[in-house]
Structure 1
Amino acid sequence: MDRLFDRRGVIVFVAAFGVATFVLLAPAMAGAVVAGLASGTAFWFILCPAAPAPAPAPPAAPPEPGLAAVAATIDEPLLFVERMQVTHANAAATALLGEHIVGEDARLAIRHPAAGALFTGAEGRLPTQPIVLGAIGGGVGRHWEMAIHPVGEGGLLVRLADRSEARAAERMRVDFVANASHELRTPLATLLGYIETLQMANGPEDAATRLRFLNTMFGEGKRMQRLIEDLMSLSRIEAEQHSAPQDAVALDSLAAEVRDAIASARSVERDRIEIAVDGAAPVAGDRAQLSQLLHNLIGNALKYGRPGGAVQVRVAREAAGLRLSVTDEGAGIPREHLPRLTERFYRVDPGRSRAVGGTGLGLAIVKHIAERHRARLDIASVVGQGTTVSVLFPLPGEALSSKSHTIVTQDASKASIGTPKGA
C-alpha cells in the first residue's frame, strides 16, 4: 500500500488480496471521490479535500433595550424582526397573536397570506405602503393594517394598527350620503312630476287639480326643507362635539318654553304636554341645542303617541345627575329595533314616519346633543304601552362614570346609548 499527496487532492492506493481489501486514509484526508482507475487487482482513487463546513449563523439578536422599553409603552401591537424571525413583541402584540410568536418565523407569526407576501417582499425592498389584513389573531370582526419599517442594521419593526373604527366611520359616511340622497330624491321626483303635469293643465276646468297638486308640492318642499335643516343641525353639532358647553341651563323652565312653542305651532292642547319637576338643578349646557333636544323628544312623542294621549315630561334630580325624560302613550317599539333607533334615517315604520313628517334624523340629533353634553341616552319601550326616552346629565362640576359613557346594552324593554370613549 502507498499514499501520495499532490495539489489536486489525495491519491489512495487500495490493494485487493483475495477477498480482503485495505484502504489507508488518514482522518484529515476524508473527501469526495472524483475519479477512479483500475489496474489488475489494484484500484486507484483520486479524492479532493472536502470544503470546510460553513460556520453557523449567529442567533437573531433582540432589539436594543431602549427600543423594547419604548415598545412596551405603546398600545399598538409591535414586533421586532431580524432575518425573518420575531425577536421581540410588546404586550399588545402577544395579546393579539399569542406569547408563542417570539422566536417564530414572522411569516407564520401573523398567520395571514398578505402578511407573508409582504415579508417576502421586504427581504429585498421595504414596502412603501401599509396593507389591510382584515381579521388576524383573536381580532375577529376587526380590521388591521400592517406596515414594516427598518430598524438598525437589517432589522425590521412591524406595526399593526387597528383601523376598525376608521372603516366603520367610512361605511357610515357612505351609507349616510346614500340615504340622504334617497331622502332628497324622493320628494324632488314628486315635485318634478307635479310641475310637469301642471305645465299641461292650463284650462279653467283644471283649477281644482292645480290646487291639489300645488298643495302636494308645498308639502314635499317643506319635507325637503326639514330634512336639509336636520342635516345642517347634525353638521353643526358634530363640529362642536369636542367643545364642552358651559352655560347654566335650567331644564325645567326650558321644558315649559318648548311645550308652549310646540302647542302653539302644532295647534296642540297645552295640557296634553304634562311637566313634572322633582328637585331640578341647572346643568352645564348649550341652551339652543338642549331646546332642540326637547323639541325632538316632545315632537316624537306627539307624532307616535296615542292620538289625543298625554305626553309626560319629567325633570328629576338623581344621585348620578339630572334626568330629563319624555314618555308617550303610543304603541311602543319592538325590542329588536331599540338599539338602532339613533342611527341616521333608521325608521321602525318608514311609511308612518314619512306620513307624519319625520326625517329619520330626530333621535340621531338627540344622541349627538347628549354626547356633546357628556350625558347618557336611554330608551325604554313596552309594546302596547308606550316609550320613554331619557337623558341623564352630569351636574356642574361632576361627571358620569366612564362606564356610563360606554353603555350600549339592551334588556327586555330598554336600550342605553352612551358617549363613546374619549368623548
Structure 2
Amino acid sequence: MSDVTGEDRHSRTSLMVRLWEARWYLLAGLAAVTVAYGFGPGRAWALPVAVLLLFAALFSAKPRAVRIAEKAGEVEAEGLQRLSGEYLAAAVADPLIIFDRSTTVVHANAAAFVAFGGMSPGLSLPLKFRAPEMQALLDSVVSGKIASDELDYLEKLPVERVYRVSASSVGHGTDLFVLVFKDQSEARRIDRMRADFIANASHELRTPLASISGFIETLRGPARNDPAAREQFLQIMQNQTSRMARLIDDLLSLSRLEMKPYLKAGARVDLRQTLESVIDSLGPLARDSNLVVERDFAEGQFAVPGDRDELFQVFENLLENACKYGQSGGRVSVSVAPGGTVAEPTVDVTIRDFGPGIPEEHIPRITERFYRVDVETSRAQKGTGLGLSIVKHILTRHNARMSIRSELGKGAAFTVHLPAN
C-alpha cells in the first residue's frame, strides 16, 4: 500500500470542493437564465423550473467523499496544532537541540540533557560546543548558505563518544534550526575491534611462518648435511606448525560461536560430571607442572541448562590456564557451590590457582582477543590469546557471567556464574 502524505490529502480535498462548488454555480446559473429568458406567452413552466433549479443549488448535499476529506483535514489540522515541537523532540531517541538564529538553545530533549548536561534554554551553542567544526556547522546553517549539513563530532566528556551531527532549518520563515546527534560510538568500536583483530591474527600467523621459512632455508643450505641441526630445526618447525594449528582452531571456534549466538533450549548439563571429566583430561598437564588439583564440590546435584561440549571447553580453558600460569603455587582448586539469590539462583564454579596472580589493571581487558598479560610467558606456554575470549562468548550464549579476583603473589580465581534455571 502506498503512503499518502498530508499534502496529497489536502490537494484531493481542494479538488473535490472545487468540483462541488462548480456544480452549485452551474445550477444557480441555469436558474438565473431560466428566470431571465423563460417568461412569455406559453412559458408558464419557466418559473417552477427556475425555483426547482435554485432549490437544487441551495440545498444540494455535498458528496460523501468531500465531507470525509474535509473532516479528515479538520482532524489533521487540529491534531497538528495540539502537537507541539516539544512533544516531537521528546519522541526522538537521539539527542536533539532546537536553536534560533542567534545560535541560542530554544529547547533540548531528554536525550540531549543525558548526553551533554545543562542544555537549558538560553544557552549559547558556540560556548557549549567549542570545536571548530561545530562552529562552522552552526555558522553555515544559520547564515542560510546551505539548508542542511552534517559532520562527525567527538565529545570527550564525561565519556568519549563519536556523533554524526546533522543541522537543518525548521520549516520556512520560523528562524528556528535543529541539531540531531546520532551516536556512532558502538559502530566505531566494532570497526576498531575488527581492524585490531585482523592485525593481531595476521601478526600471530606471520611469526611462526617466518620462523618456518627461515629454518627451511637453513636446512637447504648450511645445515643440509648436519643431522643434529636438522633434527633440532625440524622439532622447532613442528612446534611452530602446531602453534598455527591451535590458533586456527581457536579462530574457527570463535567464528562458530558468533554464527550461533542463541543456545538450544531443553538440554541440561551435570556440572559435577563435566568438571570430573575436565580434571581427568588435564591430569597429565597437572602432573607435568607438579600441581595437585583439589576438588571442593558441595553436596547435591548441580544440573544447569546448556551445552555440555561448550561448558566442557569453558572449564578446560580455565583449568588449563590455572595449570600453566599458576604452577608455582603447587596446587589448583576447583569448587562448585550454589549461589545467586532466591529469585535468581546460580551455580558457581570457581577455578583458583596460587601462582603470581594478575595485576589489577589487566583484569578488565583479560577477555579481549589476543590480549596477554605477559606476551613472552603466554607464547612459552603455547597460548594463542583467544582462550578467555572463547570462554566469554560461550558464557554469553548460556546467559552466564564470569568474575575474576586476583591478588599479586597469591594467585587468581575465575568464577563462572551459571543460571540454575
* TM-score, normalised via structure 1 length: 0.70
Name which of 379, 392, 407 aligns with 1:382: 407
1:74 matched to 2:92: yes
Give the structure 1 partner of residue 230 of structure 2: 210
Name which of 104, 109, 113 aligns with 2:132: 113
Measured after TM superposition, the shift of residue 141 of structure 1 is 2.3
Contact 1:249 1:286 in 2 (8 A): yes
1:334 matched to 2:354: no
Amino acid at match of 1:223: R
SS at match of 1:327: strand
Change (3 A) 1:149 1:378: same
Alignment of 1:321-400 (within 5 A): 321-396=346-421
Structure 2: runs of 5+ lacking an equivalent: 1-80
Change (3 A) 1:64 1:193: farther
1:314-346 CA-to-partner distances (Å, cap 9, x unmatched) read: 111123411011112222223332222222222
Give me the whole-angstrom Cα distance separating, in 2, the residues matched to 1:274 and 1:293: 18
Change (3 A) 1:64 1:197: farther
* TM-score, normalised via structure 2 length: 0.70
Contact 1:293 1:369 in 2 (8 A): yes
1:227-263 CA-to-partner distances (Å, cap 9, x unmatched) read: 111122222223333x244331122111112222233
Contact 1:108 1:116 in 2 (8 A): no
Amino acid at match of 2:92: I
Contact 1:255 1:275 in 2 (8 A): no
Change (3 A) 1:99 1:193: closer
When structure 1 is superposed on structure 2, of 224-233 and 76-85 the one drifting more is 76-85
SS at match of 1:219: helix
Amino acid at match of 1:380: R
Give me the whole-angstrom Cα distance separating, in 2, the residues matched to 1:202 and 1:214: 11
Measured after TM superposition, the shift of residue 152 of structure 1 is 3.0
- Tell me the number of residue pairs that the alignment of Structure 1 and Structure 2 aligns: 331
Change (3 A) 1:127 1:239: farther
Measured after TM superposition, the shift of residue 390 of structure 1 is 0.7
Determine which structure has the larger helix proportion and give its number: 2
Contact 1:280 1:322 in 2 (8 A): no
Structure 1: runs of 5+ lacking an equivalent: 1-62, 397-423
Give me the whole-angstrom Cα distance separating, in 2, the residues matched to 1:198 and 1:295: 38
Determine which structure has the larger strand proportion and give its number: 1
Amino acid at match of 2:160: G
Give me the whole-angstrom Cα distance separating, in 2, the residues matched to 1:325 and 1:308: 16
Measured after TM superposition, the shift of residue 354 of structure 1 is 0.8
1:257-293 CA-to-partner distances (Å, cap 9, x unmatched) read: 2222233688759993333322443222232221111
Measured after TM superposition, the shift of residue 376 of structure 1 is 2.1
Give the structure 2 partner of residue 189 of structure 1: 210
Give the structure 2 partner of residue 12 of structure 1: none
Change (3 A) 1:96 1:387: closer
SS at match of 2:161: coil
Change (3 A) 1:92 1:288: same
1:319 matched to 2:340: yes
Amino acid at match of 1:212: Q
Give me the whole-angstrom Cα distance separating, in 2, the residues matched to 1:112 and 1:140: 16
Q: Percent identity?
A: 41
When structure 1 is superposed on structure 2, of 269-278 and 289-298 the one drifting more is 269-278
1:157 matched to 2:178: yes
Amino acid at match of 1:272: V
Q: CA RMSD in A?
A: 2.9
SS at match of 1:253: helix
Give the structure 2 partner of residue 23 of structure 1: none
Contact 1:260 1:270 in 2 (8 A): no
Give the structure 2 partner of residue 224 of structure 1: 244
1:151-170 CA-to-partner distances (Å, cap 9, x unmatched) read: 43355432112222322232
Contact 2:250 2:386 in 1 (8 A): yes
Give the structure 1 partner of residue 221 of structure 2: 200
SS at match of 1:318: strand
